[in-house]
Amino acid sequence: MLVRQRADERRLGRLLQAWYERRLPLRETYRGQPALLLRHNLSYEDLQAFRQRYGVKLSE
């Protein structure tokens, strides 16, 4: 999916966050690499906090 407008990116981010909060299984990627809430360059600490908050496993 190509998001051209910053406003659309924010709306998509809010939608993804709502889906994560509902524990819906999602797979986000950016250029073939895992991404979470449209971010592909999370630090290890941020990734662990995200995984704990939303119950996400990258191997799914």
* CB within 8 Å of 53: residues ≥ 6 apart: none
Number of domains in the chain: 1
Is the pTM for the entire model greater than 0.85?
no
In a domain, 17, yes or no: no
User: 30 lies in a domain?
Assistant: yes
Is residue 27 exposed (0-12), middle (13-18) or buried (19+ Cβ within 10 Å)? exposed
> 48 lies in which domain range?
26-60
Residue 16 lies in a domain: no
Angle of CA points 33, 12, 45, to nearest 5°: 50
Confirm whether 10 is domain-assigned.
no
**Is residue 12 in a domain?**
no
Residue 9 lies in a domain: no
| Better pLDDT: 43 or 56 | 43
Integer CA distances (angstroms), 18 to 32, 44, 50, 54, in order: 23, 23, 13, 10
**Tens digit of each residue's pLDDT (9 = 90 or more) over 1-48:** 778 899 999 999 999 999 999 999 888 888 888 889 999 888 999 989
